Structure 1
């Protein structure tokens, strides 16, 4: 049986202020942006990159986030990127540095409180 040819088109996020949150994520990803009717689309910044779509919040924000983005940077660059993202308006929530030998990460929140992780994997021997 052939494998399905499914790819991720975009991550969709409801936001209290789609324009402001898209501005933050544009700076994070290096993407361009396309606005229309109160929503903003960020196409992938490079082939195989992450696309994001921001639309107005349609109801109360859930008390608990059940999904988040795991972003990856090259080994040795996580601290530099964490500092850059904090300057853009993200907040650091916690670090996981020695729990798993194959990965270190920092859990952060974007300006509207959506959690995401910034991970780095050590080089394989």
Structure 2
């Protein structure tokens, strides 16, 4: 028996709002399976982000985050910040391995490199 990844699910107080933000950021569409409770954003390539309502999201640093690759990192970071993301850090190892850490409107961290 093999497991297949169906969703990467993110806890939030407002799944409709956060799914809409990620849909804009990724050029996709949000689909409310249960409005106000569970909303998805299907990405090209098969991965689906799920946003589920919880009364109390896990506090502190998230233990799982998304990593994105961009042809032009600076342009993409500027675009995401203009949509409401917050840049939190920049890291590099040598000249070839660089990434920018951002947070979505709920504070969930993700990276663009």
Shift of 1:65: 1.6
Cα distance in structure 1, aligned partners of 2:53 and 2:65: 18
Contact kept, 8 Å, 2:20 with 2:29, in 1: the verdict is no
RMSD over aligned Cα atoms:
1.8
Q: What SS does structure 1 have at the residue aligned with 2:59?
A: coil
Cα distance in structure 1, aligned partners of 2:94 and 2:21: 30
In structure 2, runs of 5+ residues without a counterpart are none
Q: Structure 1 pair 117/55, CA: closer, same or farther in 2 (3 Å)?
A: same
TM-score, scaled relative to structure 1: 0.78
Q: State which of 1, 4, 9 in structure 1 corresponds to 2:6.
A: 9
* Structure whose CA Rg is larger: 1
Q: Structure 1 pair 6/73, CA: closer, same or farther in 2 (3 Å)?
A: farther
Which residue of structure 1 lines up, in the alignment, with residue 64 of structure 2? Answer: 67
Is residue 51 from structure 1 mapped to residue 45 from structure 2 by the alignment? no
Cα distance in structure 1, aligned partners of 2:15 and 2:61: 20
Q: Count residues with an aligned counterpart.
A: 111
Shift of 1:59: 2.9
